[in-house]
Structure 1
Amino acid sequence: MDKRKALKILQDLLKIKSVNNHEAQVADYIKLLFDDYPAAQVTVVNYAPGRSNLVITIHGDQSGKTLGLAGHLDVVSPGDVSAWRHPPFAGEMDADNVYGRGASDMKGGLAALIYVLLDLLAEKRVFTGSIRLFATIGEETGNYGAAQLTRQGFADELDALIVGEPSQLQVEYTHRGVIDYELAAEGKAAHSANPEAGNNAIDQLFRFYTAITQLMASKTKIDPVLGSLLHNVTQIVGGEQINSIPARARLYGNIRTTPLYPNQPLMAEVTDLVAQLNQQPENNLTLTYHYPESPLPGNAQAPFVQLFRRVASHTLGQQVAVVGDSGATDASEFIRAAQKFPVVIFGPGNNSSHQVDEYVAIKDYLAAITIYQQVILQFLR
Structure 2
Amino acid sequence: MNPRDLLAGLIAIDSVNPDLVPGGNGESAVADFCADWFRQHDFEVHRLERRAGRPSLVAVRKGTGGGRSLMLNGHIDTVGTAGYDGDPLKPEIRDGKMFGRGTFDMKGGIAAMMVAAAKATERPLRGDVIVACVADEEHGSFGTEEVLNTFTADAAIVTEPSHLEVTLAHKGFVWFDVEVEGRAAHGSRPELGVDAIVKAGHFLVALENLDLITEHHLLGRGTVHASLISGGEEASTYPSSCRITLERRTVPGETPDHVEAELQHILDHLTATVPDFTATLTRGLARDPFEADQDAEIVRTLIANLGAPPVIRAEPFWTDCALLDRAGIPCLLFGVDGAGAHAATEYVDLASLDRLTDVLTGTITDFCG
Residue in 2 that maps onto 1:149: 147
Supply the distance in 1 between the matched residues of 2:158 and 2:87 (Cα, whole angstroms): 27
The superposition leaves residues 261-314 of structure 1 with CA deviations (integer Å, 9 ceiling, x where unpaired) of 2333323443565577678994554434333110112233433223222312x2
Supply the distance in 1 between the matched residues of 2:264 and 2:76 (Cα, whole angstroms): 34
State yes or no: 1:303 paired with 2:297: yes
Structure 2: stretches of 5+ with no match in the other structure: 19-25
Residue in 1 that maps onto 2:197: 202
The one-letter amino acid paired with 2:182 is G
Indicate which of 177, 184, 187 corresponds to 2:179. Answer: 184
How far residue 115 of structure 1 moved from its aligned partner, in angstroms, is: 1.6
Supply the distance in 2 between the matched residues of 1:133 and 1:89 (Cα, whole angstroms): 24
Q: Which moved more, 1:171-180 or 1:301-310?
A: 301-310
Indicate which of 323, 334, 354 corresponds to 1:346. Answer: 334
Supply the distance in 2 between the matched residues of 1:260 and 1:80 (Cα, whole angstroms): 39
Residue in 2 that maps onto 1:61: 64
Structure 2 CA distance for partners of 1:53 and 1:112, relative to 1, 3 Å: same
Supply the distance in 2 between the matched residues of 1:273 and 1:153 (Cα, whole angstroms): 42
Q: Is the 8 A contact 1:169 1:346 kept in 2?
A: yes
Supply the distance in 2 between the matched residues of 1:195 and 1:144 (Cα, whole angstroms): 49
Residue in 2 that maps onto 1:30: 34
Supply the distance in 1 between the matched residues of 2:113 and 2:44 (Cα, whole angstroms): 16
Residue in 1 that maps onto 2:231: 238
Q: Any residues of structure 2 matched to 1:110-125 within 5 Å, and which?
A: 110-121=110-121, 124-125=122-123
Number of aligned residue pairs: give it. Answer: 361
Indicate which of 351, 367, 370 corresponds to 2:358. Answer: 370
Q: Any residues of structure 2 matched to 1:1-381 within 5 Å, and which?
A: 2-3=1-2, 6-21=3-18, 22-38=26-42, 40-81=43-84, 84=85, 86-121=86-121, 124-150=122-148, 152-155=149-152, 158-213=153-208, 216-217=210-211, 219-271=212-264, 274=267, 282-283=276-277, 285-312=279-306, 314=307, 318-337=308-327, 340-381=328-369
Structure 2 CA distance for partners of 1:306 and 1:284, relative to 1, 3 Å: same
What value does the CA root-mean-square deviation take over the aligned residues?
Answer: 2.4
Structure 2 CA distance for partners of 1:181 and 1:147, relative to 1, 3 Å: farther
Supply the distance in 2 between the matched residues of 1:259 and 1:179 (Cα, whole angstroms): 13
Structure 2 CA distance for partners of 1:35 and 1:341, relative to 1, 3 Å: closer
Structure 2 CA distance for partners of 1:186 and 1:88, relative to 1, 3 Å: farther
Supply the distance in 2 between the matched residues of 1:237 and 1:349 (Cα, whole angstroms): 40
Q: Which moved more, 1:53-62 or 1:282-291?
A: 282-291
Supply the distance in 2 between the matched residues of 1:200 and 1:263 (Cα, whole angstroms): 30
The superposition leaves residues 317-354 of structure 1 with CA deviations (integer Å, 9 ceiling, x where unpaired) of x53312222111011222221xx342110001333211
Structure 2 CA distance for partners of 1:227 and 1:243, relative to 1, 3 Å: same
Structure 2 CA distance for partners of 1:284 and 1:349, relative to 1, 3 Å: farther
Structure 1: stretches of 5+ with no match in the other structure: none
Supply the distance in 2 between the matched residues of 1:278 and 1:134 (Cα, whole angstroms): 49
Q: Is the 8 A contact 1:181 1:287 kept in 2?
A: yes
| TM-score, normalising length: structure 2 | 0.89
Q: Which moved more, 1:198-207 or 1:90-99?
A: 198-207
Percentage identity across aligned positions? 28
- SS of the equivalent of 2:216 reads coil
